[in-house]
Structure 1
């Protein structure tokens, strides 16, 4: 299908007003369209050498504009299968771009406002006044969409209006090569005027709002023959053509401005100019809370398509609090978007400042960011370039590092080099702290006697000794207790009966080498116990961990009902195992849930006992991409300061809505529960374990819940130390992540599952 470009003007006239007629007669329509149609017919028939049956229809799909009349036509060809590729190439050459992904062949009958073409459905809609109407995929919400479907929704608005389209439900196959929606800034599916292409699902809180440049819009749904999903629902309405926040004069000491329509995606074909003027003698600083201006494959250096221009063109995705300084009291800010592909846009604040005092009452970073003076010399890199932490005088609550930095005193002797020069880890061996909190002289460690009483002073020695059993000692199946720390599955047989190495088909992975906030992309098969839990119509909601070929561990808060969804019902869940990319679920193993067991003492207010079990409806075949993580015994010790890994597809940053496509991983360290309880306002129970990077920036976030926190033990085998539970924000300074301590539930897991 090809559509005439909307910039085309027919019947040029010296007086443009004469072209602005309320109606166009069918005779005029034929007069306008027939020459063009005949020319195209001649070209196509020449290409096809008249070997194929074709049909060409004209519809009064015309719109009035200041530039004249835009006419749309539709052509359909029925081509032998062996010649389809040749015709696709010919049609693509007419448009100058690749042809549509799905060919439509043969005409059907016209009914109402729909034209059915061999499984294709075309519908026409008109927005009216302040009314909001709905379009939805065929069958939604009662049934999934059909395979091999092509559906069009043509939407018109009154003259001098735009169309606003908002998706509140979007649940398609995750691979856009199979099923996808496209929204066009025209009535014809021209690839030059694609506003957006979407597949997968809409996250709760994600804004999928699109605005047309004129008074027409086209929505298409294309599906293939496999994996049909619930589909979509969208609301459309008309809004005035003039968008209030597109340009203008901004004066005063400070103010705000945003991309057109924000927080909607900005419309295509838009140009806005803001003239900013602050009092004479002052300069201008522009800070962005949001800056997302990009098109697929756009060059982020030259920015030829969509861009914001201040001192120079800016495009791409910038982090929050990005600052640009203008050394003048006047500035011109330009925003431009081209014909196709739109993004979230920007939200900015401008502020006047004295050139001699850019940050009155605040600290000026070397990168021109202004931060609160309370953040200077607090041990954290608030500026991002460490400029707020140089030349500091440490107070009594801080460690004075030899290199001049100051660090919080609770980081002393935690096994991590926080200073960078190891100052905080020196002189830490005068006493040995037992696991039962007793302290003994360091020289009594590994002397062959149980001086602690719990065997912990003999637990990391060359030889383990038999000790009296306690809550902190490992018990073999023959009821013998040994002093060795974490002997289970460490590759050495410590129990006389060999029980410590008997059940160790777990915790291994083919790679030695989450979106977790501040994390990195994972490799395929790197975390084979990681599971993605999908709720029907929502997509990915929580994570989980494989503990056997039949059982998963997740968080209890993931399976609690609310007013909208029945999360406690097994039939509402889809389980994806061996998954790396959320956009490629077809490459993973899909299972369904037979039973959910939430811990009976789970407290929804404190998140205490936040653990649950899921039984699969059938055993999964274990492989290098699907493999159980090891469950630690109740006596397993995960000491403060130890590095652990968190993984998941959760949000990349606290302030954004979108989750990660690729599985993310991040390394954090375990934090002492006493310190953690102080940091988290005494909200920590003994059944929780804290981990994070206290300087901020690395943490689990929404969407990671229920996923694993894993610890690498002495022989490289990985154990499930925690289950992602809760936190205060994501990646905030001095606010670690809180995890369910799995060692507290080892007996309960064994009782419920037999694992």
Structure 2
């Protein structure tokens, strides 16, 4: 119990009644109000002196009763005070967790033992210093206590002290406890020397490194589980062998789970944690999660990585010091949860190299991020110096799943690059990119992200002719890749960014000729380029069965993304059309900016997403439990938390939904770029599946085939409750609909300039019909002529204004994300 409670509980013991004497006094005479019994006449009455009792309310009895009353009153008062303190601590306590390095105390092995005299001595000294700092500060009347949880060695020498600070005050005044304010008090108390210009200063006699001070707001649950009475499962590991793997395993089948693994290595080395498998309920990192810290306490600013999904893929992470904390949290386990992992001690790597590049075609070698293939730690730095044998040769860098662009004023989220004194930002993509430096001498420096561990990087390098970036007969994509010229304008996205398909002369295939050929031998590829499908008749080649195809019941294989659930029985037995549940038609086809009121039930997949009770974005129903929306709706710490979100389904007028469900999980695409709106897509899982009884009012819309081609001029519909004009300050109460047409990708690129292959434009070039604010995340629905099914072709993403001439709306191209959707919603397969 805390010190105030201990003091409180000791005070009632001061009241004692053992020294009070009790006496019974006899008084002659009759008791008042009592008459003597009658005796028979003639019988003599014994002549005895009658005994008489003392009055009950005499002085002695009054003293006794008064003393008992005082004792009971004192016990009651102190019990209520204890309950108040306990209640105050649980509801009005503010917890801060931090650490700092003491440089003038040498580490002793006994410090690892919490009960040792050495640990208690250091802990007492640090607590006294922190007590003095805050009891003399502006927060003195709210300060309660400090607790040292760990004292460890570290690679910089001295002691690394991990501690908690507790304040108690009404939550109504809790806004004054900003992290920066509490941290500033501690940092300002460190007296540094101007003369020697060192970051080490005196903190009430302790030599503390000011640069090592970290202080964040913490959670009561973490406080209780690390130093409180409910410590849960907590383990401490000290590793001093380089060649050993130390296993970490924990599992539970029900109830609550909160585990802490504290990992400490010998001084001068780092820790690499390898996670083999995670079993937990896929979540949003708010409840179920495995978090890896670069400290021994859950300090938010030291988070290396957070895992929130079950996985069986090996992932490894490296610390920046000789210690690491792994926490596993699950407030309510419904099925098996746990982790299987191991950690090992590794030496620190120097990420620095000089490379002499040869005059050979292609890429000759590789460079990588530190500790590849592990996730590289934050704040790392790498330097490479390249030199070619000839002044006519430059350096080509081929990035795997990564690209670099000119650095903007907003900073770099995934590290920054300095290449020959030019600054670039890195970002993760789902394809390769090539960056060329037209110089025989190239100096490259990578400064890793300062926040979290990041995905491993692999870069191939080689020389190229500066005057001829791509070989003869090749086409250079805007991403830097070189592809054969024969793949230019062939209808296939070989450049990933569609730059090989832009500015191509559009030739309508002559579908009425007996043998239609486009760019190669006719194959059964599932694409019906002709409206009557004659390009799929009399094929000369067939596609072998693979894991990427749909297998009919009679063993015939078709491309899954083209033949499955398209309304046409490609399999003779029609098995490719079985178990398809997306909407074939809406109940109305009657006709946002330039739109009109829709008919009730016309768009049964339309969803309104409410944030803290207010309509904020749109979404589309794709299954009983899943919705599809735009990533930018959930950009930011507060918006990414599913707790304030609710989904309103089967709704025509705002506020009159047929079904409302809290949002259980938000999955934003991992490559989403908030500056360019690339990869602007997100999945939402409902807490409750909508009932089958509402299937006439709520229906999922069909996901397009992967790589689906759309034709400019095709008519589609955009729907939503957003603003009806750009100048409006509120959305429409009634669901609006507007007919738009798909815009040629080349024209879209020439209009905006930053259109990627994951985007498409739709609207009317004269303006007046468009999505607007509040429609974000809603559907662009196109009806397929072959079977009447509605296809989710696009997601409302961004645009210049609303309904402006020559500026159509930009939508996320859903067909480019079908594999990503299937990863989380395999039931759509």
TM-score normalised per structure 2: 0.47
Which residue pairs with 2:431 in the alignment?
320
Mapped partners of 1:305, 1:699: distance in 2: 22
Question: Where in structure 2 are the equivalents of 1:219-298 lying within 5 Å?
Answer: 219-222=326-329, 224=331, 230-243=336-349, 246-253=351-358, 254-281=364-391, 282-291=393-402
CA shift for structure 1 position 217: 0.5
Q: Look at both structures and tell me which one has the larger radius of gyration over its CA atoms.
A: 2
Which residue pairs with 2:686 in the alignment?
588
Mapped partners of 1:292, 1:171: distance in 2: 33
The 1:381–1:321 alpha-carbon spacing in structure 2 relative to 1, beyond 3 Å, is same
Confirm or deny that 1:177 pairs with 2:321.
no
In structure 2, the residue corresponding to 1:320 is in which secondary structure? coil
5+ long unaligned stretches in structure 1: 13-18, 109-113, 401-405, 419-423, 438-470, 473-485, 493-504, 514-521, 534-575, 592-615, 632-639, 646-651, 655-661, 673-694, 709-722, 726-755
Which residue pairs with 1:562 in the alignment?
none
- Paired positions, count: 487
1:10 pairs with 99, 103, 114, which one?
A: 103
The 1:344–1:247 alpha-carbon spacing in structure 2 relative to 1, beyond 3 Å, is same
Mapped partners of 2:182, 2:249: distance in 1: 32
Mapped partners of 1:696, 1:578: distance in 2: 22
In structure 2, the residue corresponding to 1:3 is in which secondary structure? strand
The 1:703–1:145 alpha-carbon spacing in structure 2 relative to 1, beyond 3 Å, is farther
* Deviation readout 1:133-152 (Å, 9 max, x if unpaired): 33355xx1433534xx5x43
The 1:724–1:258 alpha-carbon spacing in structure 2 relative to 1, beyond 3 Å, is same
Question: Where in structure 2 are the equivalents of 1:711-722 lying within 5 Å?
Answer: none
CA shift for structure 1 position 57: 4.0
Question: Where in structure 2 are the equivalents of 1:54-93 lying within 5 Å?
Answer: 54=145, 56-57=147-148, 59=150, 61-65=151-155, 67-75=156-164, 77=166, 79=168, 82=170, 86=174, 89=177, 93=181
In structure 1, the residue corresponding to 2:620 is in which secondary structure? coil
Does the Cα contact within 8 Å between 2:270 and 2:345 map onto a contact in 1? yes
Confirm or deny that 1:356 pairs with 2:356.
no
1:165 pairs with 264, 273, 276, which one?
A: 273
Does the Cα contact within 8 Å between 2:401 and 2:429 map onto a contact in 1? yes
CA shift for structure 1 position 353: 0.8
Mapped partners of 2:814, 2:222: distance in 1: 57
In structure 1, the residue corresponding to 2:130 is in which secondary structure? helix
Does the Cα contact within 8 Å between 1:291 and 1:345 map onto a contact in 2? no
* Deviation readout 1:362-406 (Å, 9 max, x if unpaired): 513163421134423534343446457778999x99999xxxxx8
In structure 2, the residue corresponding to 1:581 is in which secondary structure? strand
CA shift for structure 1 position 156: 0.8
CA shift for structure 1 position 348: 0.9
With a CA cutoff of 8 Å and minimum separation of 6, indicate the structure with the bigger relative contact order: 1
The 1:134–1:95 alpha-carbon spacing in structure 2 relative to 1, beyond 3 Å, is farther
Confirm or deny that 1:117 pairs with 2:229.
yes
In structure 1, the residue corresponding to 2:292 is in which secondary structure? strand
Does the Cα contact within 8 Å between 2:143 and 2:167 map onto a contact in 1? yes
Which residue pairs with 1:380 in the alignment?
492
CA shift for structure 1 position 588: 2.1
Mapped partners of 2:686, 2:500: distance in 1: 46
Which residue pairs with 1:132 in the alignment?
245
Does the Cα contact within 8 Å between 1:76 and 1:106 map onto a contact in 2? no
Which residue pairs with 2:319 in the alignment?
212
* Deviation readout 1:37-79 (Å, 9 max, x if unpaired): 32311233456656786463464x22142x3213214336485
The 1:415–1:358 alpha-carbon spacing in structure 2 relative to 1, beyond 3 Å, is closer
Question: Where in structure 2 are the equivalents of 1:147-546 lying within 5 Å?
Answer: 149=258, 151-167=259-275, 168-172=277-281, 174-199=283-308, 201-205=309-313, 207-222=314-329, 224=331, 230-243=336-349, 246-253=351-358, 254-281=364-391, 282-291=393-402, 301-303=410-412, 306-310=415-419, 311-337=422-448, 339-360=450-471, 363-365=474-476, 367=478, 368-383=480-495, 384=497, 386-387=499-500, 508-509=603-604, 511=606, 524=618, 526-527=620-621, 529-531=623-625
The 1:34–1:335 alpha-carbon spacing in structure 2 relative to 1, beyond 3 Å, is farther
* Deviation readout 1:622-681 (Å, 9 max, x if unpaired): 389x834599xxxxxxxx999999xxxxxx999xxxxxxx99999797999xxxxxxxxx
Does the Cα contact within 8 Å between 1:106 and 1:117 map onto a contact in 2? no
Mapped partners of 2:823, 2:162: distance in 1: 51
Mapped partners of 1:385, 1:212: distance in 2: 40
Which residue pairs with 1:103 in the alignment?
220
CA shift for structure 1 position 177: 3.1
Confirm or deny that 1:41 pairs with 2:131.
yes
Does the Cα contact within 8 Å between 2:666 and 2:684 map onto a contact in 1? no
Does the Cα contact within 8 Å between 2:294 and 2:304 map onto a contact in 1? yes
Which residue pairs with 1:742 in the alignment?
none
* Greater shift in the superposed pair: 48-57 or 281-290: 48-57
Does the Cα contact within 8 Å between 1:214 and 1:241 map onto a contact in 2? no
Does the Cα contact within 8 Å between 1:532 and 1:579 map onto a contact in 2? no
Mapped partners of 1:104, 1:181: distance in 2: 15
Mapped partners of 2:757, 2:231: distance in 1: 42
* Deviation readout 1:685-736 (Å, 9 max, x if unpaired): xxxxxxxxxx99736326628979xxxxxxxxxxxxxx854xxxxxxxxxxx
State the Cα RMSD in Å: 5.8
Mapped partners of 1:379, 1:509: distance in 2: 34
Which residue pairs with 1:94 in the alignment?
182
Mapped partners of 1:98, 1:258: distance in 2: 33
Confirm or deny that 1:698 pairs with 2:698.
no
The 1:362–1:321 alpha-carbon spacing in structure 2 relative to 1, beyond 3 Å, is farther
Mapped partners of 1:666, 1:287: distance in 2: 38
Mapped partners of 2:401, 2:699: distance in 1: 40
Question: Where in structure 2 are the equivalents of 1:650-729 lying within 5 Å?
Answer: 698=816, 700-701=818-819, 704=822, 725=829
Mapped partners of 2:464, 2:662: distance in 1: 54
Which residue pairs with 1:596 in the alignment?
none
CA shift for structure 1 position 170: 4.6
CA shift for structure 1 position 305: 7.7
Does the Cα contact within 8 Å between 2:248 and 2:343 map onto a contact in 1? no
Does the Cα contact within 8 Å between 1:399 and 1:407 map onto a contact in 2? no
